[in-house]
């Protein structure tokens, strides 16, 4: 994509985001449905709205048609907008889990929230030998030298062959 097309896409996304801020929830539901239907009437009926409601929105100045046109080019902006708007509700549901009567569920929710904020707790894992049966304590200096010499020999053989 050339620079001019990229700038145009960015401007469209910004304009779409600004227009979406002007719409209520039902208008956004209609915009989404409109992407799947060829007429306003079909889209309105598919989500249980009267087609007259959509006409009234447009008459009142809601930027329905502009959003539909921009959405045809970039549905990702709408998806991100909806996700951002749903974040507070989703977080409220998660936080409500802290009040559950089941102690395991409360613990799970608490751990998840703490990990989001602070990161996962460090879990130390003792290295073991390849069989996993005994703890690996490392190589002695002599073993390291032998391994390095073996690797160098393999490298030389590979270069010659």
pTM of the model: 0.47
Note whether residue 107 is domain-resident.
no
Distance, CA of 97 to CA of 109 (rounded, Å)? 6
Q: Based on the domain organization, do 13 and 81 belong to the same domain? A: yes
Q: Are residues 10 and 81 in the same domain?
A: yes
Are residues 12 and 81 both part of a single domain? yes
129 and 61 share a domain? no
DSSP state of 61: T
pLDDT means per 10 residues, the chain with 161 residues, are 50 82 91 88 94 95 89 71 78 86 89 84 69 70 85 81 57
Please answer whether residues 58 and 102 qualify as being in contact, where contact means their C-beta atoms are separated by less than 8 angstroms. no
| Domain annotation covers residue 151 | yes
Same domain, yes or no, for 69 and 136?
no
Closest residue by Cα to residue 16 from 64, 84, 86, 85: 64
How many CB atoms neighbour CB 112 within 10 A? 11
Among 25, 60, 86, residue at a domain's last position? 86
Q: What is residue 26's predicted lDDT score, i.e. its pLDDT?
A: 92
Looking at residue 2, what is its pLDDT?
A: 46
pLDDT at site 156: 83
State how far the Cα of 146 lies from the Cα of 152, in Å rounded to an integer. Answer: 10
Three-state SS for 24? coil
Look up residue 6 and give its two tokens: 């990229």
* 116, part of any domain: no
38, 64, 86 — which closes off a domain? 86
Residue 150 lies in a domain: yes
Same domain, 19 and 74: yes
- Counted domains in the chain: 2
Cβ contact 57:76 at 8 Å: no
Residue 140 is part of which domain span?
A: 125-161
Co-location of 78 and 21 in the same domain: yes
- Domain annotation covers residue 113: no
134 located within any domain: yes
In-domain check, residue 27? yes
- Residue 98, strand partner residues: none
Which residue, 86, 114, 146, sits at the end of a domain? 86
- Are 11 and 78 found together in one domain? yes
For residue 97, tell me if it sits in a domain.
no
The confidence score (pLDDT) of residue 41 equals 95
């Amino acid at each position: 994509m050339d620079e001019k097309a990229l700038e145009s896409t960015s401007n469209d996304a910004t304009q779409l985001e600004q227009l979406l801020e002007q719409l209520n929830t039902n208008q956004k539901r209609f915009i989404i449905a409109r992407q799947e239907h060829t007429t306003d009437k079909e889209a309105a009926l598919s989500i249980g709205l009267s087609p007259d409601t959509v006409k009234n929105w447009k008459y009142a100045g809601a930027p329905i048609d502009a959003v539909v046109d921009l959405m045809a080019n970039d549905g990702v902006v709408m998806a991100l907008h909806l996700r951002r708007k749903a974040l507070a509700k989703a977080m409220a549901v998660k936080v409500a889990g802290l009040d559950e009567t089941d102690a395991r569920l409360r613990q799970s929710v608490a751990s998840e929230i703490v990990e989001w904020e602070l990161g996962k707790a460090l879990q130390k894992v003792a290295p073991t030998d390849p069989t996993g049966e005994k703890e690996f304590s490392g190589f002695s200096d002599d073993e390291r030298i032998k391994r390095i010499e073996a690797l160098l020999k393999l490298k030389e053989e590979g270069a010659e062959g």
